[in-house]
Amino acid sequence: MDESSLTLIEKTFTFQECEDSQSLTVSIPEVLDSQYGMYVWPCAVVLSQYVWMAREELQNKTVLELGAGVSLPGVVAAKCGARVMLSDSAELPLCLRNCRRSCDANNLPGVPVLGLTWGRVSPELLSLTPLDVILGSDVFYEPEDFEDVLVTVSFLVRRNPHAQFWTTYQERSADWSIDALLHKWDLKCTNVPLEIFEANKTHLAGSTLPGNHTVQMMIITRKVF
């Protein structure tokens, strides 16, 4: 599909800490299309708020975003001074193009965009440089993919034992759980209450996206025996 046949809408997000004069505004072009990776999901705004609040810790850290789609959290991390790589499925070139377009919209020409399909040990995955943080917003949305996501995360944290996977998910069914899979892939998870990073709001970063959705934040790391 050529670029001129797409209908793009640019959304703006402004992150600011209470009683702090610093702020960050980023623009994310969304595509008018019903595919998953074409627009910003509520989880992305919540994860981006976490990234913004952790901005000092992220300076000069190497960060990889999985299933990035339009890449709000990765763009925020790059703007905060992290060395960011964005990725989406190697089989979804339109989503990879969205990652690139979000970088272009925020003057981030040096951010690499990689095709990384969850659960697949590809040459791109094997040749990644050492990582500090992995980001994943709304990557647990299709139960049949949960294990593939965690296989990739498990592979990455085995190679980078100190790395953390920062992820947000939207509660869509009380029956869904990743607990058994975390155990199977030697991972552990800590829930991060939203109020700790000022994300327990229906409006965030100037966006109404969080609304009444129930979004949770977790940090997943390697289980040490």
Which value, to the nearest 10 degrees, does the dihedral of the CA atoms of residues 106, 108, 109, 114 take? -110
By the rule CB under 6 A, 30 interacts with ligand SAM: no
Among 51, 64, 69, 153, binds ligand SAM (CB under 6 A): 69
By the rule CB under 6 A, 139 interacts with ligand SAM: yes
Stretch that binds ligand SAM, among 7-15, 64-72, 157-165, 196-204 (CB under 6 A): 64-72
Q: Between residues 5 and 34, which has the closer beta carbon with respect to ligand SAM?
A: 34
- Quote the CA–CA distance of 30 and 150 in Å, as a whole number: 27
- Say if strands 187-192 and 215-222 run parallel, antiparallel, or are unpaired: antiparallel
Q: Taking Cα atoms as reference points, which of 110, 109, 116 lies closest to residue 135?
A: 116
Among 141, 218, 219, 221, binds ligand SAM (CB under 6 A): 141
- Quote the CA–CA distance of 75 and 215 in Å, as a whole number: 20
Shortest Cβ 13–ligand SAM spacing (Å): 11
Binding mask 94-133 for ligand SAM (x = CB under 6 A): -x---------------------xx---------------
Helices and strands per DSSP (H, E), number in the chain = 7, 9
Number of residues counted as binding ligand SAM (CB under 6 A): 22
By the rule CB under 6 A, 89 interacts with ligand SAM: yes
Backbone angles phi, psi at 63, to 5 degrees: -130, 135
- Say if strands 8-16 and 83-88 run parallel, antiparallel, or are unpaired: unpaired
Can you give the binding site for ligand SAM, defined by CB under 6 A?
Answer: 36-37, 40-41, 43-44, 67-70, 88-89, 92, 95, 117-118, 137-139, 141, 145, 148
